[in-house]
Chain A
């Protein structure tokens, strides 16, 4: 069975600085996607970024980028120029053929 592990329950960063959230996963599938979702205090689930397993190039969305290491099964999220609005829970997620799994989440606090 697929597993997704986020080893950092909580993190904090100063406004305008850079922070990296870690995620590792385990799967025997070859064709899958990885996602980062953000959950602010409003409870809304918002897609931050997605990565196709077959693409070697790391995905980037404005201030958000990933470091995807397929062999190591690692999928970290880098947030550059952190803003107060980035304060949220961040969930790493795996989507395979019939499987959708989430990590336990990392609570990120951006400090002014």
Chain B
């Protein structure tokens, strides 16, 4: 089944404890991206990647890191999480690097709570 697999679905952690949210797609998509969803703000892009080894900042990159060593994987790293990073996170992918017409394929989301 074609899908974007995101783990974990729920995560509770404490301030300063490094964590990684994994994202993997099995559709050979070039484009991958991370979003955070907050009430009243919608989805905001954190980072995106148009291809392997190519990543760019989105609107809210502070406090996050990403890497794209393989086409299928795009992990999101929080090296020192803070409470203001408590949010619902989504990974998404689409076939082409600049496919404006392409819909995004979303993971199932990760609800992160930083205490």
Please give the residue numbers on chain A whose beta carbons come within 8 Å of chain B beta carbons, in ascending order.
4, 6, 9, 31-33, 35, 43-45, 47, 50, 52, 91, 93, 95-98, 100-105
Contact = CB atoms under 8 A, between A and B. Distances in A.
A95 B35 CA distance: 14
B104 A45 contact: yes
B33 interface: yes
Given A31-B100, A33-B100, A98 B108 contact: no
A35 B42 contact: no
Interface in B81-115: 88, 90, 92, 98, 100-104, 106, 108-109
Contacts of B7: none
Interface residues of B, number: 23
Contacts of A102: 35, 42-44
Contacts of A33: 100-101
Contacts, number: 48
Nearest to B56: A98
B45 interface: yes
Contact of B43 (A50, A52, A91, A98): A91
Interface in B9-23: none
Contacts of A35: 103
A105 B88 CA distance: 14
Given A33-B100, A95-B100, A45 B45 contact: no
Given A43-B109, A93-B43, 13 more contacts: A4-B42, A31-B100, A35-B103, A44-B106, A45-B92, A50-B103, A95-B101, A97-B98, A98-B56, A100-B33, A100-B45, A102-B35, A104-B41
A104 B42 contact: yes
23 contacts: A6-B42, A9-B40, A33-B100, A35-B103, A43-B108, A44-B106, A44-B108, A45-B92, A45-B104, A45-B106, A50-B101, A95-B102, A96-B100, A98-B98, A100-B45, A100-B48, A101-B45, A101-B59, A102-B42, A102-B43, A102-B44, A104-B40, A104-B41
